[in-house]
Amino acid sequence: MQHMERALALGWRALGTTSPNPAVGCVIVRDGETVSEGWTQPPGQEHAEAAALRQAGAAARGATLYTTLEPCNHYGRTPPCSEAIIAAGISEVHVAVRDPNSNVAGGGIERLYDAGIRARIGECADEAGRLIEAFAKHSSTRMPFVTAKYAMSLDGKIAARSGDSKWISGEESRRYAHLLRARSDAIMVGINTVLADDPQLTARDAEGNANARQPLRVALDSRGRMPQDAQMLNAPGDTLIAVADDYEGAACVGAETIRLPSGRGGVDLYALLVALGDRDVTSVLVEGGGATIGALFDMNLVDKVVAFVAPVIIGGDDAVSPVGGIGSAGMKEALRLKNVEVMRFGRDVAVIGYVNEVPERGT
């Protein structure tokens, strides 16, 4: 178990840098000792297994390989990892989960079997499935995996009636939120959030420095209200502004503009997600505001929720709530999260759960 757990830690390290490829970790063990480790490199570079095999060299012969995802068996930008494993003389392979990609779909494991290599499947499958949840959805639907993230007070407010929202959550929660940003391909907000908070929407390290790799910033701005001096237009990384197709104003300098039909959220959110999926955006972290998140919930476009709850009372009938939209007509129709877990961040807690049942992991 410890070797697969280490492989998972390596995979999590890579998450956010490998898209549209999955983040994978790999450990090679010989006589109970770790020979080498590897994790997926950015697109076009080595997969986790190839990196670990290169590092192991001749020591790979007769060794056991642990990988969080079924080795690929097809040619893409790099050769198949299954063939590299066979050529290296690995004697046994432990695979956490099968690859949901139809180009693989068990073919990598079958190739190992055919070559006489023992293969065991299913160790740490649940965590391995979470590691590739965005890749799995994008592989099967070409749509990105959507996470709604917000911080709220104990009475369910995301800002005071004045609009002030800094800071509801504590420093530890905000640090984890930056990790979520770093692991995402894109961050999405509505224009009202931009106008109220003027966020940079960057992923930053513990010292507050912008990471080298930044997720795509996506702003819903159907009528072209983005201020030209908005921080997100001048921050590191790229910005995409979604406007309505009948908007006739000038494009915003410092950002790419995409035109979409009008719909809930100002623009057709389903069409926007399709367009992002076509760009190989596999994961979108939605950070507000309430109208945007509410519209996504109303359209059943949210996959996961990360809700930070701080022990603070804001009060006020006019204070803003995290989820707007139409909502449920009654409690029977209310959305109840599945596979829920609770994490502690200082004085805050985060409730994390899925809108739909997480499918059983391949074993």
Catalytic residue positions, numbered: 49
Sign of the four-CA dihedral 286, 358, 99, 183: positive
Query: What angle (nearest 5°) sits at the alpha carbon of residue 193, between those of residues 345 and 338?
Result: 45
